[in-house]
Structures are given as structure tokens and as C-alpha cells.
Amino acid sequence: MKPTLINPVYVCRACEWVYDDEDEAAECCMPGIDERYRCPICSSLSCSEAAAIACCAFDPEAPPPPPSAVELERAGQLRLIE
């Protein structure tokens, strides 16, 4: 089995909640789950890893994008005010 570039997420078939953990999704409403892949840029869900990579022209070999101001603040960095 080849390693995945994007981690799969799991969607409950009954309520369509999205879970990172397969067991949590299976225990949600119990009809079953669907495996999906999340685009790392826009967060839309796709049925295949290839479709998630192609969604916003994501390049898995490229360096990650710089963090946004909100992400930096959540990590504890103070924003400088001019």
C-alpha cells in the first residue's frame, strides 16, 4: 500500500459530520461511513486523493504556505500595531 499525501477524513452517512478518526465516525449514527480526502488549500472534500490534490493545484512537493496572521496569533505570537 502506498503512503498517502493527504490524510483521509471520514463522513457519517446519516448526518454528514466530518471526523478525523474512523472509529468516531463509525460510532456517530451507525449506518456507515464514507472515506473522503480534504483539499489542503480550500478544505473541500473529494472522493479520491488525486481529486483533492488536483482541486486547487496543490503541489505536495512545494514548501507549505506561510501561516496567516490568525494562525500566528493562535500560536501565541503578538501582532504589532503601527
Domain assignment present for residue 79? The answer is: no
Cα-flanking dihedrals φ and ψ of residue 36, to 5°?
Answer: -130, 165
Domain assignment present for residue 80? The answer is: no
Domain assignment present for residue 36? The answer is: yes
Domain assignment present for residue 64? The answer is: yes
Q: E strands, the chain, where?
A: 8-12, 18-19, 33-38, 45-46
The closest alpha carbon to 18, from 39, 3, 35, belongs to: 35
pLDDT of residue 40: 80
Domain assignment present for residue 70? The answer is: yes
Is the pLDDT assigned to residue 60 strictly greater than 90?
no
Q: pLDDT tens digit string along 4-50? A: 578 889 998 888 889 989 888 888 888 788 999 988 888 889 998 88
7 vs 14: CA distance, rounded Å: 22
Is the pLDDT assigned to residue 56 strictly greater than 90?
no
Domain count, the chain: 1
Domain assignment present for residue 81? The answer is: no
32 vs 68: CA distance, rounded Å: 36
Is the pLDDT assigned to residue 1 strictly greater than 60?
no
Domain assignment present for residue 82? The answer is: no
The 3-state DSSP class for residue 30 equals coil
Which domain covers residue 24, as residue numbers? 8-74
Domain assignment present for residue 51? The answer is: yes
The 3-state DSSP class for residue 9 equals strand
